[in-house]
């Protein structure tokens, strides 16, 4: 094992549900994203994928919003035809990423070596965020600690949103 | 001697910290970063920033507590604090309000979402 890459931090989410719908472009906005916004359901990690048969959007919602999300999808005939909900999942984010392919490669290798399936991942301005099964978040963190150096204490194993201070 | 002013950016959203840091660095400031209130205090003691851009809602120790402790400590009370208040405008049932911010003795308050140009103007005003 080489020298660990210093990182500034790691975040672990509470339990979430991953929602995936396949719809035409118009359906996606009117039939999925707009109702979610209207019902004030926060989306995490929104990923869109253009396909020949439409567009697939995948996102994560808080576990407590899962039922409302399912109701909204079922109420819309378009997206409901090919919708999937997978739960419980969790997000693990490490930062800073700064477009580092080495960081991305090490993170994916660490999870592969630990045999932890990755459902989705994306990078943002600073962070690399991966969607994995919630009950494997601590394993993923341990795997990351073998190749990344995180400051401070290990994030707690949380099944709920962090309490307001 | 490095005469660039040091700004501490504190927020639990790493993307926001990065965005603000990039803007500050482009304006010739040095930047220190922290992702919660406890880390913020570590940075304050280690590096003594000229100004702190401080989020309110954070884990471990919220921005109001950090600001309150800072302004009541004579050793650090002259450090300028700009509080980022995401919840004061639209939400009234939360404990985080502008009024709490004002009692926390911050020097300036900026609502989220942040207007980076406005933030830079404030930073420049306080670091002249």
| Cα–chain center distance at A157 | 17
Residues 6+ apart with CB under 8 A from A163: none
Kindly give the pairing relationship between strand B6-10 and strand B51-55.
parallel
Do B104 and B73 meet the contact criterion of CB atoms below 8 Å apart?
A: no
Residue given tokens 């709490």 in the structure block: B100
Interchain contact, B15 vs A11, CB within 8 Å: no
Mean pLDDT of B105-113: 86
> A155 in contact with B at a CB cutoff of 8 Å?
no
Indicate if A105 and A137 belong to the same structural domain. Answer: yes
- Four-way CATH pick for B6-127: 3.10.20.600, 3.40.50.2300, 3.20.20.210, 2.60.120.10: 3.40.50.2300
Instruction: Quote the pLDDT of residue A45.
Output: 85
Residues of A in contact with B17 (CB under 8 A): 126
Residues 6+ apart with CB under 8 A from A29: none
As a whole number, the mean pLDDT across chain A is 85
Please determine, for residue B9, whether its predicted confidence score (pLDDT) is greater than 70: yes
Say which range, A23-32, A88-97, B6-15, has the weakest mean pLDDT: A23-32
Last residue within a domain, chosen from A34, A64, A87: A87
* pLDDT level of residue B121 (50, 70, 90 thresholds): very high
pLDDT digits (tens, 9 = 90+) for A65-122: 999 998 888 887 665 567 889 999 999 999 999 889 999 999 999 999 999 999 999 9
Instruction: Quote the pLDDT of residue B43.
Output: 95
Count of structural domains within chain A: 2
Query: Rg of chain A's alpha carbons, rounded to an integer?
Result: 17
Indicate if A73 and A109 belong to the same structural domain. Answer: no
- Better pLDDT: A162 or A119: A119
Do A41 and A73 meet the contact criterion of CB atoms below 8 Å apart?
A: no
Interchain contact, B15 vs A164, CB within 8 Å: no
A11, A162, A165 ranked by CB distance to B61: nearest: A165
> B69 in contact with A at a CB cutoff of 8 Å?
no
Q: Which domain holds residue A128?
A: 5-14+89-149
Please determine, for residue B115, whether its predicted confidence score (pLDDT) is greater than 70: yes
pLDDT digits (tens, 9 = 90+) for B17-72: 999 999 999 999 999 999 999 999 999 999 999 999 999 888 778 888 999 999 99
What is the pTM (predicted TM-score) of this model? 0.79
A8, A126, A162 ranked by CB distance to B59: nearest: A162
Residues of A in contact with B33 (CB under 8 A): 8
The pair of three-digit structure tokens given for residue A53, joined into one six-digit string: 């048969």
Alpha helices in B27-115 (DSSP H): 37-47, 63-71, 98-103
Indicate if A20 and A80 belong to the same structural domain. Answer: yes
**Rounded alpha-carbon distances, angstroms, from residue A164 to A92, A119, B56, B60:** 20, 29, 11, 9
* pLDDT level of residue B86 (50, 70, 90 thresholds): low
Distance from CA of A125 to the nearest CA of B (A): 5
Give Dmax over CA atoms of chain B in angstroms.
Answer: 48
A8, A126, A151 ranked by CB distance to B15: nearest: A126
């Amino acid at each position: 094992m080489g020298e660990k890459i210093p990182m500034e931090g790691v975040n672990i989410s509470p339990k979430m549900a991953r929602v995936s719908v396949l719809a035409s472009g118009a359906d996606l906005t009117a039939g999925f994203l707009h109702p979610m916004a209207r019902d004030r359901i926060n989306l995490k990690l929104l990923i869109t994928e253009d396909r020949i048969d439409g567009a697939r959007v995948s996102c994560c919602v808080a576990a407590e919003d899962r039922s409302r999300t399912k109701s909204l999808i079922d109420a819309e005939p378009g997206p409901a035809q090919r919708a999937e909900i997978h739960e419980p999942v969790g997000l693990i984010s490490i930062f800073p990423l700064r477009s580092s392919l080495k960081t991305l490669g090490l993170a994916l290798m660490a999870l592969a070596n630990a045999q932890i399936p990755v459902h989705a991942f994306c990078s943002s301005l600073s962070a690399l965020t991966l969607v994995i099964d919630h009950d494997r978040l601590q394993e993923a963190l341990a795997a990351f600690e073998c190749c990344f150096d995180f400051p401070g204490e290990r994030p707690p194993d949380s099944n709920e949103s962090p309490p307001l201070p | 001697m490095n005469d660039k002013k040091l700004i501490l950016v504190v927020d639990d959203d790493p993307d926001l910290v990065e965005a603000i840091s990039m803007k500050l660095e482009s304006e010739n400031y040095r930047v220190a970063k922290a992702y919660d209130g406890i880390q913020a205090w570590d940075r304050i003691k280690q590096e003594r920033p000229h100004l702190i851009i401080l989020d309110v809602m954070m884990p471990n120790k919220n921005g109001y507590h950090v600001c309150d402790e800072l302004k009541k400590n004579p050793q650090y009370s002259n450090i300028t604090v700009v509080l980022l208040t995401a919840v004061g405008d639209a939400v009234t049932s939360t404990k985080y309000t502008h009024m709490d911010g004002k009692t926390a003795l911050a020097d300036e308050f900026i609502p989220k979402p942040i207007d980076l140009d406005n933030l830079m103007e404030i930073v420049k005003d306080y670091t002249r």
